Amino acid sequence: MKKITFVLMAAAISVSVSAQKGKVTSAESYITEKAFDKAKAAIDAKSFVIIPDSYEASNGAFETNTDDANFLSYEGEFVFLQGMIICGNGYTNKASITTIEQKLDKKGNLIVEMQVSGSQIQAKVEILMRKGGNYAEVIITPSKGSVRRFSGEVTPKSESKYYKRPNVV
């Protein structure tokens, strides 16, 4: 009889713990879904910034970025690319968008593909933001030079802490 009581108590405790875990998961899911919606709204408004937290170095290894002067920003009609990690030069590159396509795939991931053209850079920019969060993977393929890959959070321009240099080209 004691064994049966013990087994029933253990089962009740495990059901209670798993039910609590389910609540935490749904709360976390709600928070990440809100982050996705906020980032998508910033992309739709053409007012967002991505500061890389990791990037692919020239040797192919991924490294951590600690400089907020490396960024990609979309500000109205223009895209700004700044830093060696992003565009391979020390300028703040102001580029016009020649074509842009934005779509959701079957899984709900947001994909943005654009062609940008400026005085120092012409490139294809691909942004993939997975459903359920505001973290994006970015690939910049310039017409000259090497492909740049980095990832970071998509944040509205008004909330981002990035450093734009005054030497815009």
Does a structural domain hold residue 107? yes
Mean pLDDT, range 57-70, rounded to an integer: 93
What total of structural domains would you count in the chain?
1
The distance from CA 40 to its chain's CA centroid, rounded to whole angstroms, is 10
Does a structural domain hold residue 15? no
Residue with tokens 């087994």: 7
Question: Does the structure show a pLDDT above 90 at 50?
Answer: yes
Does a structural domain hold residue 141? yes
Does a structural domain hold residue 52? yes
Mean pLDDT, range 24-33, rounded to an integer: 70
Give pLDDT, residue 89.
87
Identify the CA nearest to 136 among candidates 19, 40, 34.
40
Q: Quick one: what percent of the chain has pLDDT higher than 90? A: 70
Domain span holding position 115: 40-159
29 falls in which pLDDT band (50, 70, 90)? confident
Does a structural domain hold residue 19? no
Does a structural domain hold residue 131? yes
Give pLDDT, residue 167.
78
Does a structural domain hold residue 87? yes
pLDDT tens by residue, 97-144? 999 999 999 999 999 999 999 999 999 999 999 998 999 999 999 999
Mean pLDDT, range 22-48, rounded to an integer: 83
Does a structural domain hold residue 115? yes
Residue 59 half-sphere exposure toward CB, CA atoms < 13 A: 3
Please, what is the Cα angle at 111 between 110 and 113, to 5 degrees?
150
Identify the CA nearest to 134 among candidates 34, 26, 47, 35.
35
pTM of structure: 0.81
CATH number for the domain spanning 139: value is 2.40.128.410
**CB contact at 8 A, 122 and 145:** no
